[in-house]
Structure 1
Amino acid sequence: MELSALAARVLLSAEIDRKLRPPRGPLTDESPGSAVRVALPARPRGLRFRYRKNGPKLPRGDALRDRGRRGVAHHILANHELQAAEVMAAVLLAFPRAPAAFRAELGAILCDELRHTRMHLARAEACGTRFGDHTVNGHVWRSAARFRDEAEYLCVLPLVFEARNLDESLELAALFDAAGDPKGAGVMRAIHEDEIEHVAFGLRWLGRFAPAPAGGTGDEFDVWASRLEMPNQPARAVGRTFLEPPRRAAGMSDAFLAKLRRAAAAAADGSAS
C-alpha cells in the first residue's frame, strides 16, 4: 500500500473501521503526490471534536475499579491515540517531498498508533463501552497539527506528547494493575515500549532537520525548546513522575535530561506559588 493512500485513508475517511484498518503488505512510497493540508480529520458524527470541556475526564485511582469507568478511560485513551495517527497522516500528506527514510519511519509509527487505538478500543468494548459513547476533545490535534515544517511536528508530537507518555503510560499501567485490570495494564506497558522508539525517532530526525549550531552555546534541548509555542512548553513533556530510564533509552543526553528536569521543576514551582 502506498504511504499517501494510507495517510489519506486515516485522515479523510469518516468510517472508523476503515481508518483503523492496518495496511495489507509492505508500505511503498512511489507516488507521494502533491502537498495536501486539511483543517480537521474526517470522523463520524459521534467522534467529532468538541472544544468545550464537556467530555469525561480520565478516571484514576479507585475509580478504575469500576468496569464502566475503565471503559471511559480506554475510550479517552483511544481518542488520544487516534488523534496522534491523524496528525502523522497529516504530516505525510503535507510533506510528500520529505526524505524517504523519514516518511517510511513515520508511516511505521502511524501504524503503531492505529494498533494502539485498536488495543484501547478492545479493552473499552470488554468494559461495555463503544467508540463514540462519550464526547471527545481534539486537544492533541489542536496542539500538534499546526506545524509549518517537519521540525515543528517533531518538536511537538514526538517530543512533547509522546515523551510525556513515557511517564504517563507506566503511571496508568500501575493504576490499572491496582484496580485489578492486568490486561489494561498490559496495553499501557506495550504502548510504553513503542513510545521509546517514537521519541527516539523525534530526537534523531530533529537533529537532521534542525541541527544545533556547531560550536555554538545552544544544544539539542535549546533547539527543541526554541521551536515550541504556547501552550506547548518543555515542562509539558513530563508526566507526574519524571522517569529517566526510558528517556535515556530514547537517546536523550545527560544535558538534555538536566535541562528538562529543571524546566519541569520550575513549572511545578510556578503552579504551586
Structure 2
Amino acid sequence: DVAMPDAPARPTTPELLPPNRMPKRGRGGSERGRIAMLHALAHVEYSAIDLAFDVAGRFGALFPRSFIDDWLSVGADEAMHFAILDRRLTAMGSGYGALPAHAGLWEAAGATAHDAAARLAVVPMVLEARGLDVTPETVARFEAAGDLPSARILQRIYTDEIRHVGFGAKWFGYLCANEAIPPAPRWQSLVRTHFRGKLKPPFNDSARARAGLTRDFYEPLAAE
C-alpha cells in the first residue's frame, strides 16, 4: 500500500491567497468580471480533480469497488470541466493561472482526511451541492451579457455536478446503512463539526433532490 499525500502537487500559478484576501470579482456583468468568475470556477474544477482521486485512494478500501469506479469517473469529469473552462479563458484573452485563487476546497479535504463519512458529508454534500444552488443564476447572468459560449459550458458542468453530489449522498447512505444510523441526523452532526461556514438559502431543492440530498438534511442547519 502507498499512503496518500497530505496535499497534491501544485503548479507555480495561480498564486494561492487566503479567502479573505481574494479580490472581489463582481457578478459577471463585464467581460473582466466574467473572466474572473470563469477563472474561479476553473480553480474549483482543478481542485475537484484532486479531491475525486484523493477520496478514491484514501477511502476506497472501506467500500465496494464501485465506490472507486464512481470517483474515478468524477475525476475524469472534473478534468474535462477544467479543460473546457481553460480553453474558454484562453479564447477570452486570459487563462488559468492569470489570476489568484484560494485553497479553501483542499482545506476542507485536509480537515476530513481521517473520516470517510465526514469527507462525503462536507465535500460533495455541502461544497459541491452549493454549486447546484448558485449555477443557474450564474448561467442566466452570462446569457444576459450575451456570453452564450460560457453559459453553455456552465450548464454542462451543472448537469454533471448533480451526478457528483449524488455519488456523495449514495456512499454516505451506504456508510450509514452499514452502521444502522439515520443518515440525515448523522450528516447534520458531521457538518456542524467539520464545516466552518453556514448553510445559506436559497437552495436549489429540485437539483439537490435529484442528487438524493433532500430537504430534511439541510433545512435544519439552515435554520440555525
1:169 corresponds to which residue?
135
How well do the aligned residues superpose, as a CA RMSD in angstroms?
2.3
What secondary structure, in the 3-state scheme, does the structure 1 residue paired with 2:218 have? helix
Query: Which of 23, 38, 46 is 1:82 aligned to?
Result: 46
**Is the contact made by 1:87 and 1:141 (CA closer than 8 Å) also made in structure 2?**
yes
Q: Point out where structure 2 has 5 or more consecutive residues left out of the alignment.
A: none
d(CA) in 2 for partners of 1:46, 1:178? 31
4+ long deviations beyond 4 Å:
none
d(CA) in 2 for partners of 1:246, 1:185? 18
Deviations 1:10-66, CA, capped at 9 Å, x for gaps: xxxxxxxxxxxxxxxxxxxxxxxx242323221222225323633333430xxx232
Deviations 1:52-110, CA, capped at 9 Å, x for gaps: 633333430xxx23223211111111001111111222223323524211001000011
The 3 A distance-change label for structure 1 pair 213 and 95 is closer
The 3 A distance-change label for structure 1 pair 122 and 80 is same
1:57 paired to 2:24: yes
1:121 paired to 2:52: no
- Greater RCO, CA 8 A, separation 6+: 2
**Is the contact made by 2:162 and 2:207 (CA closer than 8 Å) also made in structure 1?**
yes
Deviations 1:211-243, CA, capped at 9 Å, x for gaps: 3865xxx7321111112255616953x5x5322
1:45 paired to 2:12: yes
Q: Point out where structure 1 has 5 or more consecutive residues left out of the alignment.
A: 1-33, 268-273
Matches for 1:200-215 after TM superposition, within 5 Å = 200-211=166-177, 214=180
The 3 A distance-change label for structure 1 pair 115 and 58 is farther
Query: Which of 182, 186, 189 is 1:223 aligned to?
Result: 186
Letter matched to residue 118 of structure 2 = E
2:210 corresponds to which residue?
249
**Is the contact made by 1:35 and 1:95 (CA closer than 8 Å) also made in structure 2?**
no
What secondary structure, in the 3-state scheme, does the structure 2 residue paired with 1:210 have? helix
Letter matched to residue 78 of structure 1 = A
- The aligned length equals 222
Provide the TM-score with structure 2 as the length reference: 0.88
1:139 paired to 2:100: no
1:263 corresponds to which residue?
221
What secondary structure, in the 3-state scheme, does the structure 2 residue paired with 1:113 have? helix
1:249: how far off? 1.2
The 3 A distance-change label for structure 1 pair 117 and 235 is same
The 3 A distance-change label for structure 1 pair 109 and 52 is closer
Which has the higher Rg, Structure 1 or Structure 2? 1
Letter matched to residue 135 of structure 2 = S
Matches for 1:13-28 after TM superposition, within 5 Å = none
d(CA) in 1 for partners of 2:196, 2:19? 22
The 3 A distance-change label for structure 1 pair 251 and 125 is same
